């Protein structure tokens, strides 16, 4: 007579099975949370002991949660309760934990702790881990109930599920080791052997789970393999995607605490405001605003009265500010990412020892655009919503996007400010570079109620949306749109004030380098057009530029055209960080004190690429030359007599026109030579997902 079969959990007394299942669930969740913690904050978990707190805390919470749910299942009436307690309690624990992650604003797997308090939303890799977790929970729920019914009569099923359960913590531990090794041992890429080891672990755990399975092997094999492949693939995909290829900052590579690299400023704060015209600020135009907080910053720094954006829309303009190269060189547009051959401001500051973080409020600046390179923490939290509809699907989609996609998370400008303040508070004794990109003055104009203009909305306003300037024709409608824009400028000024006051409270304002500027301006029918990305006239490219040096107490006004492309060499120069001599902008250091002696101004070049029509403008002497490249149309303006650029001199000033034409041709030739020398002949693909396309259409970038 054969011996009775002993299943995997049969050796454990019934009274202890709940404890075994609880321990397995807790360890599995803890190791998975360790994976997310390592990927979320690589500079905080360089040693294994640092991984223990998130692991232990999450494991402890899961133990408590499992115990409570097991008690709940056990308390059910007999007719509703399955024969066992462990399996349904485990499934409910996974489901509740996944739901907790859905409902939590934190950036960790289960939402029970916050390993990075300055993070505003879940980073891309943690977000991508959630959906595999949710799918795994659903599978676990189905398998658990299947085990309670079929397992009573089929020992093979019960044994396979038990073995799969026992294999989970080992698989999760291997995932944690894989993530840790990929971050700290292979920061520039994962060797194939690492992925092979992960796959081997999945296969090994599956083989252990399927040992001695006979009759139901195909079904169980499919379920277990699918669950483990989803979990392992999620981890591997998270590690391999959306990660900078820069070395992870560690204590060995950072500057000593409290010491700025090279004797430069300890804190660098770059504030860029989307679509902000210079004349929207009261420090630039009497009667504007009022914008008292930006005025206060200007009163202790250098205000450049004639600063020009490198382009008339976001991507090429900010790419120039971050690299020092003209749009005609980097050619960063929709569909082409910032070239990796051009070092960014964040990369060079990170290499010099600064902790780098960015929080940007424009969906164009998703990590795939290339702007995230060099940032240890990079958050895209859009503040301008553009829902497809207000029906149930539209609202549900928006809620899901808020939770799981950092590239579409809805936030307020105050959220951006709070995140920046959190970084400064946590790292006040370290060299820090922070980039904030506010979206307030970008359409649609929806200022907070406290700043909204008084009076009735002029009727009729198309589609009931007064913040959208398209199709506004009457003087009343257009005046209302401009009033809304001015209100947005006052609202963002308040956020700048909050940031400055918090920096003063933290005692980091005095030794900080603060730069405030805009990516481009905004048109209000001065040349028959509204919004931006449709011309190189003053209203579209004349932007604020204020630079406050550490210790500066007295403000200066610097006249003469400069480009915000000079942000790159100016910040690096003040931080004593070397950069390439081929950069196409001069540092403004000597001008910050109002001293222009020995400074030979170079012509300021502005380029519109990848928008409605490619254009090139050159500011030289007192003139502005504009060329529409596709149509071959030329314009020439004398800015000393015609600052509004209304009367073209093309037909009456042939010699000046020839000089402008020659400067434009020389710039294009130089750009072509630079691209060849820097190896930029091929575009860097930047695929646009459907959500990005929808948002770009709503904001006017796509038709």
Give 3-state DSSP helix, strand, coil % of the chain, rounded to 5: 45, 10, 40
Tell whether 226 and 316 lie within a shared domain.
no
Tell whether 354 and 416 lie within a shared domain.
yes
Tell whether 619 and 497 lie within a shared domain.
yes
Look-up: residue for tokens 């990170």? Answer: 350
- Residue 176 structural domain: 14-240
Phi, psi of 472 (to 5 degrees): -90, 120
- 416: in domain: yes
The answer to whether 88 and 148 have CB atoms below 8 angstroms apart is yes
- 548: in domain: yes
Tell whether 272 and 230 lie within a shared domain.
no
- 9: in domain: no
Tell whether 590 and 506 lie within a shared domain.
yes
Look at residue 629 in the predicted model and tell me its pLDDT: 87
Tell whether 410 and 344 lie within a shared domain.
yes
CATH number at residue 396: 3.40.720.10
Tell whether 173 and 118 lie within a shared domain.
yes
Average pLDDT over residues 329-337: 86
The answer to whether 649 and 636 have CB atoms below 8 angstroms apart is yes
Look at residue 62 in the predicted model and tell me its pLDDT: 75
- 588: in domain: yes
Q: Of 1-5, 322-326, 452-456, where does the model show the most confidence? A: 322-326
- 221: in domain: yes
User: How many structural domains comprise the chain?
Assistant: 2
Tell whether 291 and 390 lie within a shared domain.
yes
Cα dihedral sign for 413, 415, 417, 419?
negative
Tell whether 277 and 213 lie within a shared domain.
no
Hey, what are 661's tokens?
A: 């034409």
Report the alpha-carbon distance of residue 242 to residue 239 in Å, rounded.
8
Residue finishing a domain among 177, 205, 240: 240
- 246: in domain: no
Average pLDDT over residues 243-256: 40
Report the alpha-carbon distance of residue 546 to residue 154 in Å, rounded.
75
- 8: in domain: no
Residues 6+ apart with CB under 8 A from 154: 215, 216
Average pLDDT over residues 189-215: 55
**169-183, 213-227, 487-501 — which is least confidently predicted?**
213-227
Tell whether 119 and 64 lie within a shared domain.
yes
Q: How far is CA 654 from CA 650, 659, 663, 667, in A?
A: 7, 9, 14, 20
* Residue percentage of the chain with pLDDT more than 90: 34
A 10 A CB-CB count for 250 gives 13
Hey, what are 292's tokens?
A: 């008292």
Q: Given strand 512-518, what is the order of strands in its sheet?
A: 377-380, 355-360, 432-438, 267-273, 512-518, 545-548, 302-308, 556-563
- 254: in domain: no
**Considering all CA atoms of the chain, what is the largest pairwise distance in Å, rounded to the nearest integer?**
113
With a cut of 50, say whether residue 463 has pLDDT above it.
no
Tell whether 269 and 236 lie within a shared domain.
no
Hey, what are 628's tokens?
A: 């529409």
Q: At what angle do helices 86-103 and 48-74 cross, to 10 degrees?
A: 120
Tell whether 280 and 202 lie within a shared domain.
no
Helices (H), 14-123: 14-40, 48-74, 86-103
Q: Of 7-11, 90-94, 257-261, where does the model show the most confidence? A: 90-94
Q: What is the tens place of the pLDDT at every residue in 637-661?
A: 999 999 999 999 999 999 999 999 9
């Amino acid at each position: 007579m054969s011996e009775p079969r002993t299943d995997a959990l049969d050796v454990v007394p019934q009274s202890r099975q709940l404890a075994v299942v609880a321990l397995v669930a807790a360890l599995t969740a803890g190791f998975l949370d360790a994976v997310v913690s390592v990927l979320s904050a690589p500079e905080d978990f360089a040693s294994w002991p640092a991984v223990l707190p998130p692991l232990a805390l999450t494991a402890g919470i899961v133990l408590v949660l499992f115990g409570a749910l097991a008690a709940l299942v056990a308390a059910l009436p007999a007719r509703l309760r399955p024969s066992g307690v462990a399996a349904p309690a485990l499934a409910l624990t996974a489901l509740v934990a996944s739901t907790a992650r859905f409902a939590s604003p934190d950036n960790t797997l289960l939402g029970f702790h916050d390993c990075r308090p300055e993070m505003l939303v879940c980073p891309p890799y943690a977000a991508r881990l959630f959906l595999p977790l949710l799918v795994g929970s659903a599978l676990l729920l189905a398998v658990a109930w299947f085990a309670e019914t079929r397992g009573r009569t089929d020992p093979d099923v019960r044994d396979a599920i038990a073995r799969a359960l026992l294999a989970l913590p080992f698989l999760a531990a291997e995932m944690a080791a894989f993530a840790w090794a990929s971050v700290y041992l292979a920061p520039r890429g994962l060797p194939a052997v690492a992925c092979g080891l992960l796959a081997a672990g999945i296969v090994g755990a599956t083989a252990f789970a399927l040992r001695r399975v006979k009759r139901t092997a195909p079904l169980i094999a499919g379920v277990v393999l699918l669950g483990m492949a989803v979990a392992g693939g999620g981890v591997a995909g998270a590690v391999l995607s959306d990660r900078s290829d820069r070395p992870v900052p560690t204590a060995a590579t950072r500057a000593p605490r409290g010491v700025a690299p090279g004797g430069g400023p300890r804190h660098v704060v770059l504030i860029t405001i989307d679509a902000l015209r210079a004349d929207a600020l009261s420090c630039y135009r009497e009667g504007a605003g009022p914008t008292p907080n930006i005025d206060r910053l200007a009163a202790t720094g250098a205000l450049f009265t004639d600063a020009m954006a490198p382009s008339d829309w976001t991507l090429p303009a900010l790419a120039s500010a971050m690299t020092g190269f003209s749009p005609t060189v980097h050619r960063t547009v929709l569909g082409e990412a910032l070239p990796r051959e051009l070092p960014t401001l964040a990369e060079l500051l990170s290499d010099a020892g600064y902790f780098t973080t960015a929080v940007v409020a424009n969906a164009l600046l998703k990590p795939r655009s290339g702007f995230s390179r060099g940032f240890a923490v990079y958050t895209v939290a859009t503040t301008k919503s553009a829902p497809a509809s207000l029906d149930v699907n539209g609202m549900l989609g928006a809620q899901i996007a808020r939770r799981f996609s950092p590239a579409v998370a809805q936030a307020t400008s105050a959220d951006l400010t709070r995140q920046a303040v959190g970084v400064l508070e946590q790292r006040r004794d370290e060299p820090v570079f922070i980039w904030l990109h506010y979206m307030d003055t970008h359409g649609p104009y929806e200022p907070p109620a406290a700043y909204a203009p008084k009076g009735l909305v002029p009727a009729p306003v198309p589609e009931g949306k007064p913040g959208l300037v398209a199709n506004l024709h009457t003087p009343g409608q257009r005046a209302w749109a401009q009033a809304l824009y001015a209100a947005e400028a006052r609202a963002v000024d308040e956020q700048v004030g909050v940031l400055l006051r918090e920096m003063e409270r933290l005692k980091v304002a005095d030794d900080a380098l603060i730069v405030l500027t805009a990516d481009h301006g905004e048109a209000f029918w001065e040349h028959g057009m509204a919004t931006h990305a449709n011309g190189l006239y003053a209203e579209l490219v004349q932007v604020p530029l204020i630079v406050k040096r550490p210790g500066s107490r007295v403000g200066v006004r610097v006249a003469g055209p400069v480009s915000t492309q000079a942000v790159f060499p100016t910040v690096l120069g003040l931080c004593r960080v070397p950069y390439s001599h081929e950069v196409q902008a001069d540092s403004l250091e000597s001008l910050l004190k109002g001293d222009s002696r020995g400074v030979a101004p170079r012509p300021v070049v502005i380029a519109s690429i990848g928008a409605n029509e490619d254009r090139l403008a050159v500011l030289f002497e007192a003139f502005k030359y504009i060329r529409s490249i596709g149509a071959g149309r030329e314009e020439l303006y004398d800015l000393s007599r015609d600052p509004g650029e209304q009367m073209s001199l093309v037909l009456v000033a042939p010699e000046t026109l020839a000089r402008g034409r020659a400067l434009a041709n020389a710039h294009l030739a130089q750009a072509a030579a630079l691209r060849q020398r820097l190896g930029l002949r091929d575009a860097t693909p930047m695929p646009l997902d459907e959500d990005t396309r929808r948002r770009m259409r709503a904001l006017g970038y796509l038709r």
